[in-house]
Amino acid sequence: MRVMVILAVLMLSACQHVSTPPVTGEIRDLHSGQTLTAQELLARLAKPSRLIVGEQHDNRDHHELQRWLLQALGERRPQGSLLLEMLTPDQQLRVDDVRHASTLPSDLPGALAWQPGWDWNLYGPIVRFALAQPYPLLAANLDTVEVRAFYARPPTLSGARSNATSVKDELLAQISGSHCGLLPESQMPAMLAVQQQRDRRMAERLLAAPTPALLFAGAYHARKDVGVPIHALDLGAPEAPVVLMLAQQGGEVTAAMADYVWYTPATPAPDYCAEMRKGQPGSKP
């Protein structure tokens, strides 16, 4: 009896062990306002069958946390699948071939046909770790051919939530802002269609993936009020995926946007808009 008690205590201690996160910051439950420890957050994130982690694409802290979360959650319960916005369907066969190979190729980005728009220095550690795991690594985005088709001829999107005026207005403002106000008005409907078709594809893939399923995507794709979660509900999901948003200190994430937020230290960002405006008619050198 005493041996069984000791073993139970040891197993409980092992389950509660959590390695130190690689990044400091503040974790908050957005529904209660409670500040959480990393261990408390993991305990909550281990329960849902579908989880989305929103990121700032060029933030190294966010990618280090994603890698840590993936490993820490896998130590708490078997992971069903990992989905990436950064992978497209035409890469899936390459991903599967690499995952089933005895060793990783020396040129892993080349073997995966990794797209240069996603910084491999940031995403490489996540991909390498995922490829060594028993669960599938899945594409969640659109192919380039699909993007061009949706841009040229925006399809009708089904679902009351994703067609709400408030959702479309918020996404149009985000699209305009991310392009520094330089997009012609005539292009905005097509850009909105592509954005929402990306969200719809991610929702479809997330709902079809082995659970517990984890999706890494950009912040607007992850948001509960305008992104993948409302598309999941429009597709008939009984409940929205749980959302953890990674954001820099100084940003504002509300309970409408996510369930949890992890505020990471603020880092200087390059002035992308100044670079984009160079060469524009009437701009100064």
If one counts every other C-beta atom within 10 angstroms of the C-beta of residue 95, the result is 21
Q: Dump pLDDT digits (tens) for 127-136.
A: 999 999 999 9
Q: What is the C-alpha separation between 9 and 11, in angstroms, rounded?
A: 5
Mean pLDDT, rounded, of the chain = 91
Q: Which residues contact 51 (CB under 8 A, 6 or more apart)?
A: 45, 212, 213, 214, 215, 241, 242, 243, 244
Beta carbons of 265 and 249 less than 8 angstroms apart:
yes
Beta carbons of 255 and 244 less than 8 angstroms apart:
no
Q: What is the C-alpha separation between 227 and 217, in angstroms, rounded?
A: 10
Residue 215, token pair as written in the block: 């999706």
Q: Mention the CATH class of domain 21-267.
A: alpha beta
Q: Which residues contact 173 (CB under 8 A, 6 or more apart)?
A: none
Which secondary structure element, helix H or strand E, spans residue 167, and what is its range?
A: helix 165-178
* Residue 249 binned pLDDT confidence (cut-offs 50, 70, 90): very high
* Residue 3 binned pLDDT confidence (cut-offs 50, 70, 90): very low
Q: What percentage of the chain carries pLDDT values higher than 70?
A: 88
pLDDT score recorded for residue 6:
41
Structural domain boundaries in the chain:
21-267
What distances in angstroms separate CA 104 from CA 24, 50, 88, 127, one per listed residue? 32, 28, 20, 11
Q: Dump pLDDT digits (tens) for 189-233.
A: 999 999 999 999 999 999 999 999 999 999 999 999 999 999 999
